[in-house]
Structure 1
Amino acid sequence: MLIIPAIDLREGKCVRLVEGRLDRETVYSDDPVAVARLWEEQGARWLHVVDLDGAFSGSPKNLDMISNILMAVRIPVQIGGGIRDMAVIEELKGLGVARVILGTAAIINPSLVAEACRFFGESVVVGIDARNGKVAIEGWGVTAEKNTLELAAEMNSLGVKRVVFTDIWRDGTLKGPNLAAIEEVARATGMKIIASGGISTAADLFALKALEPLGVEAVIMGKSLYAGTVTMREALAIARGEMGEQVC
């Protein structure tokens, strides 16, 4: 299982939101590039970068910062936030982005997802952001009628192999991941799952590690790392199976 630190960009800064709400923002650094280097130095093998301004506006707003991060680290980076047409996907891939994450586009323009999968294969990931079982889009400001399992099945049929699953009510709260929902999506689809939202303790990571045989291949960690409730060293050891649960 991979541990993927999150860097959420807003107005060029590294921030974290609670439940995706702009009025519940914490600024962790004015230098996201330094943060990216830090996570790489501490052993991260991937980075997860979200352009929050892009997610809310519908088009990328932090491309210069994203480019700077890509130049500063050697590990692969996946990008989400405001990616809603093929031109943006091609631009990001041209910058060196390893994976693009499509969220809103999966609901409003599934043909784009299909086209992107044809051209870029597993470099295309779909973000399924859940609120009470329904899919939230447009920076989580709008709740669609489609439920998470329906969207996952549709994306699977279009060629998507991997999804980032986030429970919005857990995101940034340190209340623990929605294990039941993550397991449900994994069992129903057989897709590769990157779990996100609510991770707080070592116990949460052990619980997600137990779902690895179902396809949970990675965990995105944000606030827990920034707040220090779990260290990167501890998280990586658990992910590699080097720590027994009783040790923690």
Structure 2
Amino acid sequence: MYMSFFDKMKASIGIGAAKVDTKLEKDSYKQGEMVKGNVFVLGGNTQQEINGLYIHVMTQVLREQDDRKYLDDVTLYKIKVSDAFVIEKGKEKVIPFSLQLPYETPITIGDVSVWMKTEMDVTFALDPKDNDYINVFENETVSSFLKAIESLGFYLNKVKNVPFKRSKTGVFQEFEYKPKGGPFQRSLDEVEIGFVADAQSVDLFIEVDRKARGLSGFLESAAGMDESKIRVQYKHFQKESVETAKQELMDILSRYSR
């Protein structure tokens, strides 16, 4: 059956065109977990050629340009779930898929969001899209360190995603903690931690901001010498407990808070 000229024109601007809808098995996942689901493609008022079907794991990063801060949508990971096919008028095509969330997928906490964007590539037409937001929780190692730092008297003040070339996804999630009690209340202004991970290990990054004490402390702060940056690697099989993570953080923070 041939498409009429008017059917083609309407489909090219999205009127009566094919639609896409992705259904996930669930809406909550851990970092590195497999995501499974089905993509439903529903034909519109006319036959259409689909060049390909893609799923993106998406989040937002905070960028700075010319003293202006703004959020930018970025792709953490992308897979092709179907090659070219034709969807007939009014017909439905179901395409199953699975993908592994990157181990560096940001945790959905605070204003941080993660979603699956399904996109159909259609020539000379608006590409139909579908967004499905998911909850992402930390893996065991990350969880141990987040619990450990709070047990040392810190509270989570801010979470943000920033661009980071050393991570596989190009995104780095920063957790900013401030002391409200505990052994570091008087010596530290804040501690920022973040993680770069893969299937084998987790790299813990810590930035310690010491409190300025007296004139020398003020001069150190003004010169940027009051901050210390630390990187430590942990293998997943080590199964860091909260108590072990707490002791390791205690040792690191004590060393850099003097």
TM-score bracket, normalised by the shorter chain, equals under 0.3
The higher-RCO structure (CA 8 Å, 6+ apart) is 1
Q: TM-score, normalised by structure 2?
A: 0.22
Larger radius of gyration: 2
Higher strand share: 2
Q: TM-score, normalised by structure 1?
A: 0.22
